[in-house]
Structure 1
């Protein structure tokens, strides 16, 4: 039976449009913590004594304890959700207000079955002047231009493609002041890619060479720079394979995108770094690879003054800080571990029940998306801690706990823990965890922490959501918990992997209040936190339109596999209200959500 505080009941009674999951439908094991709640952690820069790397300055670890205030709502299989706060009515009198989030439009070209699992909608950018969305389409290797002037009925206008036939499919897109920047890898990921510039009418303006596998592109807030995360993934680790260096390209577009030439590109690389220059908790483990080859930039966030960039290094469980004026990597910081013995997880797909419980497992954050925002004059960072493993010829770091030799002192109950119904099925790294080097595992490090984190500008942990995401999805979809994103009837299929996989995120201000939106790649949908106090975000709701009775491959299961989230401010919105755009990689669809505020009557 779900356990909820009286405060949660009271707030939810004020939200009649929220569809709540029935607690009696939630299968749990005796002693499990499978409750719908808001579980979070107040962070610190030091970890428990058993955590690795805790003496290294700048590393982030937490004990998974603590809580966040507020009451979550859930909106299961619906297109709208709401939560309450305070505000003023037309007379200036303070009244209780309700924030409503409703899907008002959907870009879903028929036949949807043809777009299924083809990456037909991954990342979106928006031009407020023309009210157009620019959406990466991996299926057609184009940037789809979608008219959003009527947000209830998005319409495809044209599809942009680069003139260079040697390029592959766009991986990312960004728009600023009427200029579209698209990151496009080479047909061979190991070769340098390009950033191609278009105007909003689709005319190609220029292009420049960047690093290998450009995976994310963004304009700086002042519009003068374009930053590119060049992931530089290896082709493998055997003879004849190539491991290109990861880097961040910085393109000066201050003279106009039409005038950009190769000399306008600077590169912030890792070539000059030694192991003494980076945080000791950063994972450097590619066989035969240098530090520069091993570090793999994933995503970029930029400070409001356009002077600093923060770059996630997902596989390395780290983050780089880049000085944009000098194109220099100034610091590489380990992202640390979440202690699941305090903050629970569901680690098994073999027990047939939801069991979000403490376990002797450390979760590597390994963030994907990162966003920078300011509250009270201070800069903060939000990270979506998805997790990722390396699986190549010559290096496969995933192992089931059941296959490992566990240290008898660290795991006196190893025989029980390694049962498939306990931790046996959980995938962990076989690269880290042998702390004393004696050949057995003293710790278990899982991929991703199934959480979202808030950091300050130095990379110090401020807050972590702990097991709040799994708790919310369990409450909303007790029969679809930890499902995969490419088919229904996959209850708990992701519990042994990375759970719901928070991947994309966006931060935006609506009606004077900052909010954090986090997309969940596997089960789908997104969660919302109120961010006024970054050290204690308030969990508001989880909204997911997925239809678990539909057929994913036939396009009748609604949105699947949210990849990117884009917040559009009210002043730039075609509706006059803030919008959240969610691009869904598996279903190939784009959903438009409108945020409104109404008084509670």
Structure 2
């Protein structure tokens, strides 16, 4: 996740949400009777260069006008591109929100209506959602929503817009800081009239913090109530528009929202990924080229490690198979590390100064060397309430790292059906055009091994005949992984396209938009990728094989 307020220390202002051209719940192919492909490939056919870091982040497409709306985080605006010739996108105009707020955080489009999530000048103040006409870019109306509106999405029928109000703090326990409540705004669009807003908040969970923590839901901001601590990140809506699922990224949980009543009906923990299981490993160090040393060199070593991964997903998507709905999460990981007054992120060697508990870790004596686990970034605060993951002697008894380095499929009871394990790292370890676990602003070998690896950020779904596919963007190493998810419990890798070239080319995939063939300007299914670090918008064609 790289939304505006957290990214200022790394890049120019950036946003970390993903808006889709078709609603996640209903995203798919052209017709129910279309032929089913045997496989597919991705081909980059066009690109637009915004000319600055952060100039291409979240994207959304309008079918009638053939216009692509691209959040430009460098300017806090939206670039409007002509996509009628997808091999040569052209800039048509820009939407400025100077009179409505600080900058645009996300965009969504439905049938010619463009919705923008706009951050207030002071990020902890209420934000705005503004509606524009896609054809002439005129402002239609706007409404106030919660603090730091991030991702937003239309319901499948276009009657409502749901907005994830992240409500990030400006700091903890320091003069002049505040921690607003997170919430989901549900806007009834009311085309031709004034929109209305209902709010699904988390206040009913205040006072239940201890019980929620016991279920595995992370509530750990210093002195924060549940409502303050929950930070909605991303939303997907059911095909009937009645239910929404919302990632609470830092809380490692998913909230379930009844859309009609604007009520959060449940919060479900995601649990933890056991990286000590074969096929679920990771490369834990960027200094693993030596043996039991604190001054090693980078080497690719992917394998089981005695740590747990907190999924901490960013994007979420939904799809239906045989009448049963499933959810997909891009398990990016995110630490509360950027706000004054609190930082949960550390490295194992710094955190476990008294060593590891030998009754838990068989290799306790050597595990904390940097060439082993010592460099891996973990949390000091597994789940608030004074929990540290240490015994009375100060030895670490449990280690929780950020993200799953994978994507997962869940049923609607939030039980995991599938996880891609360590396949992202294994498949990117032999790239000819980038070094293993390089970041999105360098080409340094293993730059991200000790911190979230490839960092899957976005996920969208495409349907072709009887098959459904997941497209997963990898924020750090770059590129898009494609999986056949037709059989959720046995999803399988299909293809991968990475269009970076060392530290050049397309860097930092943030927003993914799938355009089915029936809505595409060239009659072919397209995948639009907003690359925030390079500021480039890539147009990829999905080539189907029958």
Q: What TM-score do you get using the length of structure 1 for normalisation?
A: 0.79
CA distance in 2, matches of 1:265, 1:209: 8
Q: Which residue of 2 aligns with 1:36?
A: none
Partner of 1:572: 519
| Structure 1 position 402 matched with structure 2 position 334 | no
How big is the shift at 1:546? Answer: 0.8
Instruction: Give secondary structure in 2 for the equivalent of 1:571.
Output: helix
1:170 to 100, 104, 113: 104
**Structure 1: runs of 5 or more not aligned:** 1-91
Aligned twin of 1:105 = 46
1:260-409 paired onto structure 2 within 5 Å: 260-261=194-195, 264-273=196-205, 274-275=208-209, 278=212, 280-342=215-277, 343-351=280-288, 352-391=298-337, 392-403=339-350, 404=352, 405=354, 406-409=356-359
CA deviation after TM superposition for structure 1 residue 411, in Å? 2.4
Partner of 2:84: 149
CA RMSD in angstroms comes to 1.9
Post-superposition offset of 1:281 = 0.3
| Distance apart, 1:408 and its partner CA | 3.2
Residues 1:127 and 2:62 aligned together: yes
- CA–CA separation in structure 2 for the residues paired with 1:584 and 1:414: 41
**Is 1:430 aligned to residue 365 of structure 2?**
no
Equivalent in the alignment of 1:85:
none
Q: Distance in 1 between matches of 2:340 and 2:365?
A: 31
Contact map agreement 1:278 1:331 (CA 8 A) in 2: no
CA drift at 1:244: 0.4
For these two proteins, the number of residue pairs brought into alignment is: 488
Query: Of 444, 466, 486, which residue of structure 1 is paired with 2:399?
Result: 444
Is 1:179 the counterpart of 2:113? The answer is yes
- The change in CA–CA distance for 1:125 and 1:196 in structure 2 (over 3 A counts) is same
Q: Is the 8 A contact 1:234 1:244 kept in 2?
A: yes
2-structure distance, mates of 1:500, 1:358: 17
Given candidates 525, 544, 549, the residue that maps to 2:479 is 525
2:37–2:467 contact (8 Å) kept in structure 1: no
Distance 1:97 1:316 in 2: 39
Shift of the 237–95 alpha-carbon distance from structure 1 to 2, 3 Å rule, reads closer
Shift in Å at residue 375 of structure 1?
1.4
Q: C-alpha deviations, 1:152-186, integer Å up to 9, x for none?
A: 10011000122525x11111100001100000110
1:594 maps to 541
Post-superposition offset of 1:260: 2.5
Local SS of the residue matching 1:228: strand
Post-superposition offset of 1:277: 6.7
Q: CA 1:182 to 1:277, structure 2 compared with 1: closer, same or farther past 3 Å?
A: farther
| Aligned-partner SS, 2:222 | coil
Higher radius of gyration, 1 or 2:
1
Judging changes above 3 Å, is the alpha-carbon distance between structure 1 residues 245 and 569 closer, same or farther for their aligned structure 2 residues? same
Question: CA distance change for structure 1 residues 141 and 95 in 2, over 3 Å: closer, same or farther?
Answer: closer
**Contact 2:216–2:271 at 8 Å: present in 1 too?**
yes
Return the TM-score normalized by structure 2.
0.86
Shift of 1:276: 6.6
Select between 433-442 and 324-333 the one with higher mean Cα deviation.
433-442
